[in-house]
Amino acid sequence: MSTSNEVQYYESDFDFDEHAAAVREQINHAEEEPEERLIAKHDENDDSLTPLSQADSWNQFHSHHSAGNFYKPRRYLLSAFPCIAQYLAGGDDASSIRVVLEVGCGSGSTCVPIIKECSKRCDMVNENIILLACDCSTTAVETTRRFIDGLVENESLRRPHFASFDADPSLTIDESPPFLSQVKSAHDDLMRDTELAGQLVANGDIGVAGIVLLVFVLSAVTPTRVNRFVQQIHETTAPGGKVCFRDYGLYDLPMLRFDSQACCRSSTSLGDPVYLRGEGTIARFFTLESTRAIFESAGFTTCELRYCTVYNINRKTRQKLKRVFVHGVFVKPHNDGTT
């Protein structure tokens, strides 16, 4: 457990290997799995899995939760990823423009701790921080905008340079403009009316984001498009920039619930189990090995990678629920190979 910014952060409440062994033991004693559950294959032509139908499912999800409070603010974010606060502080070059990009922003819950951290720092340096948030769901983008406007107003926070926009890095060149150009357009649109207007970045193909947040988004991406998604994230990350990754891990509680409810399951080429929720969205559960393979094959270097094990306490039953997440920090090396 560690404490920073008055938030208690837990990441090793129980031993992952022991938990995994107990789950495997249970599976061995369970009845043979029905054949039809295991045959589902991720087929590009499966209509329910295409990026467009996933965006539709997420639009419906966010329409049902338009108040923006389904996902709670990720208060642990800065404790889990100290590199974010370091980047915001600017290090040796506090006058440089710093771009934080969240992909798959949902209703903005991961943006909240960043905005609060920026607001706390009353120095002019904050004027150089740009927070961009995107999502494949236009409803999510709208919800995020509304939620952040409300937060800034209700809590009298200093308004950051902030924009939300719709984009999906899993789309091909035939389906959408390159993700990097969408991020640069959002960046420049935001900058145009500010004192930073002289520092537009539209030209050139060098990545712009010093920090990219991928928080519970990769698990929702069409499995056959995950490599493309991460490749476009790599293009968009500035050399030396970092990806902060958190997502569902193998044997996480929802995975065991999917299994106990005999939900349709399939497996990715890297062996990760994948399920389709009742509402049509994809839920994938990562191993450390699959996560490393995905990021390293896109050109990232792994800095941190581990399972986080956290007890959630059921308020009614007081039962301890075992959550498993994959935590990762990946860096895009500079052109000379240094990180």
Ligand X SMILES: C[S@@+](CC[C@H](N)C(=O)[O-])C[C@H]1O[C@@H](n2cnc3c(N)ncnc32)[C@H](O)[C@@H]1O
State the minimum distance, in angstroms, from the CB of residue 184 to ligand X: 17
CA atoms within a 13 Å half-sphere pointing along the CA-CB vector of 227: 9
State the minimum distance, in angstroms, from the CB of residue 77 to ligand X: 9
Amino acid occupying residue 31:
E
**Which residue among 88, 99, 105, 132 contacts ligand X (CB under 6 A)?**
105
**Euclidean distance between CA atoms 327 and 181, whole angstroms:** 28
State the minimum distance, in angstroms, from the CB of residue 126 to ligand X: 23
Only one of the segments 51-59, 84-92, 176-184, 310-318 lies at the binding site for ligand X (rule: CB under 6 A); that segment is 51-59
State the minimum distance, in angstroms, from the CB of residue 236 to ligand X: 12
Residue 74 or 323 having the CB closest to ligand X: 74
Residue 221 or 274 having the CB closest to ligand X: 221
Q: How far from 127 is each of 17, 114, 122, 131, 162, CA to CA, in Å?
A: 45, 14, 10, 11, 11
Residue 80 or 129 having the CB closest to ligand X: 80
Using H for helix, E for strand and C for coil, what is the string for the chain? CEEECCEEECCECCCHHHHHHHHHHHHHHCCCCCHHHHCCCCCCCCHHHCHHHHHHHHHHHHHHCCCCCCCCCCCCHHHHCHHHHHHHHCCCCCCCCEEEEEECCCCCCCHHHHHHHHHHCCCHHHHHEEEEEEECCHHHHHHHHHHHHHHHHHCCCCCCEEEEEECCCCCCCCCCCCHHHHHHHHHHHHHCCCCCHHHCCCCCCCCCEEEEEEECCHHHCCHHHHHHHHHHHHHHEEEEEEEEEEEEECCCHHHHHHHHCCCCEEECCCCCEEEECCCCCEEECECHHHHHHHHHHCCCEEEEEEEEEEEEECCCCCCEEEEEEEEEEEECCCCCCCC
Residue 97 or 212 having the CB closest to ligand X: 212
215 interacts with ligand X by CB under 6 A: yes
Residue 215 or 276 having the CB closest to ligand X: 215
276 interacts with ligand X by CB under 6 A: no
**Which residue among 164, 170, 287, 290 contacts ligand X (CB under 6 A)?**
170
**Which residue among 118, 132, 136, 148 contacts ligand X (CB under 6 A)?**
136
103 interacts with ligand X by CB under 6 A: yes
**Which residue among 16, 79, 84, 104 contacts ligand X (CB under 6 A)?**
104
51 interacts with ligand X by CB under 6 A: yes
Only one of the segments 4-12, 129-137, 202-210, 291-299 lies at the binding site for ligand X (rule: CB under 6 A); that segment is 129-137
State the minimum distance, in angstroms, from the CB of residue 105 to ligand X: 6
Residue 277 or 306 having the CB closest to ligand X: 277
168 interacts with ligand X by CB under 6 A: yes
74 interacts with ligand X by CB under 6 A: yes
147 interacts with ligand X by CB under 6 A: no
Cα angle 132-137-141, degrees, rounded to a multiple of 5: 40
**Which residue among 109, 182, 287, 309 contacts ligand X (CB under 6 A)?**
109
210 interacts with ligand X by CB under 6 A: no
State the minimum distance, in angstroms, from the CB of residue 73 to ligand X: 9
Binding site for ligand X (CB under 6 A): 51, 54, 58, 71, 74, 103-106, 109-110, 135-137, 140, 168-170, 215-217, 220-221, 229
